[in-house]
Amino acid sequence: MPIKYSYNTHESWWLSPSSLFDGYVWQHDIAFKISHDTITTIAPKCTIPTDDPIMTTDLIACPGYVDLQVNGGGGVMFNNEPSPAGLQTIGRAHLKYGTTSFLPTFITDTSDKLDLAADAVIKTIGQHGVIGMHIEGPHINMLRKGTHNGEFIRPFDERTLATLERLRTNKVPTMITLAPECLPDFTIIALLVAMGVVVSAGHTDANGEQIRTALHQGLSCFTHLHNAMTPMTSREPGVVGMALASHAWCGIVCDGYHVCDTSLAVSIHAKEKSQRMFIVSDAMSTVGGPSSFILYGEEIFVKDGRLINRQGSLAGAHITMAQSVHHLISQLGLAPGQAIAMATSTPADLLSVANTRIGKISIGGKANIVLLKKDWSIVQTICNGQYIDTEKNPNSTPNISNT
């Protein structure tokens, strides 16, 4: 049953779920203490002092979801409103669906707008769930541009390099998606990696040998695997084959439309040993917002669960991390812990150089928690130690009893 709530507040309190997945392993008969926005203690239930405030629930606890590819939410597209106010709206929209940490994603556009987006992230980092920035394009292959506007696609330039340097100077975790074969020199990848930028291949028409070279230079990730990239064939691994065979990380959209469930299952299995496959929503402004929006002057809308343009082509996704986790468990039969890790600890580990407090339930970690029913659907979210009531008041706090 959902936890009852009230407006009582406590500086420190215990949460005792029916079971706990901490991001890596299952724990049972465990409770953890939340002080302000931090988990300060994890201990057996039987050791909790009887006079301490405790919230007991038959729900399952896991870390708040971490989404490394969020284009929009709550009726706002980051490209259309690259501002702190826009990021606040996007963060609030995804919070009620369990996403407590995310990378706002700015897709191919002008250099001026990219700078505005970078400024917004620098001002907002650490607030509203913003943990960094994902720049997707504009240095991608025209042949694999997808919904990106070809007018703004361009070679890698000093302007983008300056923006990346500014983000890293301000200690903003940063990912850039690019087409390696379109770079003037593959050593640019090594330069960016030396700056602390995560370089991901996406919207790319590269062959296997080009990806091999990019991996040697420090490429460490692949963006929305299978989509907007060369497929694996019998004699050419393409981007997909190299991604699955490598030790690199792979983001993947789990809505059943971007990648069919059979290909999804095969891909997850291929990366199972390295545990470097993670879920991204690739969500647009329709999550928590109206069912259509304008991008590059063109209407994008939801039809039969798919987000498409007037030509019927996929244009981002209309799915949450919570729905993605549920899909993997209920439709693919994935082990619950594996599915949850793909939405929590795995994407957090990719950004571990700059972020060590998200994606897991551990002592010293952020008190970002999702509470699930036994059918793995999300019920409630706790963000920075504060209970988020998705049905009523987003600022309400949990009812805590001394039991």
**Catalytic residue set:** 282
C-alpha of 129 from chain center = 11
The 3 state secondary structure assigned to 332-369 is CCCCHHHHHHHHCHHHHHHCCCCCCCCCCCCCCCECCE
What are the φ/ψ torsions at residue 43 (nearest 5 degrees)?
-150, 160
* CB 36, CB 383: distance < 8 Å: no
Phi first, then psi: give them for residue 37, nearest 5 degrees. -110, 15
Instruction: Extract the tokens encoding 304.
Output: 């039969």
Rg for the chain, CA atoms, rounded = 21
Nearest to 383, CA basis, from 27, 102, 19: 102
Q: Measuring CA to CA, how many Å separate 244 from each of 125, 141, 334, 344?
A: 32, 21, 18, 20
Q: Is residue 33 exposed (0-12), middle (13-18) or buried (19+ Cβ within 10 Å)?
A: buried
Phi, psi at 133, each rounded to 5°: -145, 140
Q: What is the DSSP letter of 238?
A: H
List the beta bridge partners of residue 20. 27, 61
Cα–Cα distance between 299 and 375 in angstroms, integer?
36
Contact 382, 35 (CB under 8 A): no
Half-sphere exposure of residue 29, counting CA atoms within 13 Å on the CB side? Answer: 3
* 364 torsion bin: left (phi>0), alpha (psi -120 to 50), beta (else): left
Taking each helix axis as running N to C, give the angle between helix 238-245 and helix 261-270, from 0 to 180 degrees, rounded to the nearest 10. 40
